[in-house]
Amino acid sequence: MRNALFVFLLPAAGVVGALVTLVQGRLTHVHVALFLAGFVLTGLGITVGYHRLLTHRSFETHGVVKAVLLILGSMAVQGPVAGWVANHVKHHAYSDRDGDPHSPREGLLHAHWGWLLRFSDVPVERYAATVRRDRVAAWVSDTFVLWVIAGYAIPFLVGGWEGLIWGGLVRQIVVQNVTFSVNSVCHRWGQRPFPTNDQSKNNWIVGLLGLGEGWHNNHHAFPTSAYHGLRWWELDLSGYLIRFLDAAGVAWNVRRPNRLEILRRAS
């Protein structure tokens, strides 16, 4: 029921509110800026924090940087980090087979939304024990509700009710559906430069909207790689952020396959 409230009902109310603001001419540059900033920041919190840092351990960073990334990911309202990691680890363990939490084999709508009704059924103790042993990650996960509230309160304080609608609810539904498209679209349509034991595909549209996550076949071929865009034309904003953190000296042990590994895996 809680998943339905945060994934379906509240964002739907936000869409209705957004249409009202458009019809009444109350949308301003401030509200657009809140939407765009919220989309990029909370999206990076999911892609870099929840996914590449914590789930796949593709790089290491300082505790403060980790906390900021995971807090931004929590504001995307995709569940506490421990549950998110558990679902994603199980996805990789059973990708497109029985046991996969969100494979399109059970239907595209199931892969996109329906699986969320069973989000809490994946045991955290089995699939995300490392999160519980990580003091920073466990703290952010346990205080998830506070960060969700902050993700609504900040745009409200900056832009009023319209700020809440565009920078909070509409931003949330767009980020969520881009993330869910990796589960659905990227296991149905796209290119497969690497042979894998699943139906993962590179989809350039999701690659752009998903801040690099749409290069999904690349990711399944090299799951611990910090960079999902492996070729120069595969734009990967999340990878660029990790590269910046590395250059700034606040990220280390950044994993990436070398050219020989990429060529060998593609053959």
Rounded to two decimals, the pTM is 0.95
- What is each CA distance from 7 to 13, 44, 50, 119, in whole angstroms? 11, 19, 18, 12
DSSP 195: -
Residues 49, 52, 57, 62, CA torsion sign: negative
Using DSSP, state whether 71 is helix, strand or coil.
helix
Per-residue pLDDT of the chain (267 residues; tens, 9 = 90+): 566 566 677 778 888 999 999 999 999 999 999 999 999 999 999 999 999 999 999 999 999 999 999 999 999 999 999 999 999 999 999 999 999 999 998 999 999 988 988 888 899 999 999 999 999 999 999 999 999 999 999 999 999 999 999 999 999 999 999 999 999 999 999 999 999 999 999 999 999 999 999 999 999 999 999 999 999 999 999 999 999 999 999 999 999 999 999 999 986
Do 203 and 216 touch, CB atoms closer than 8 A?
A: yes
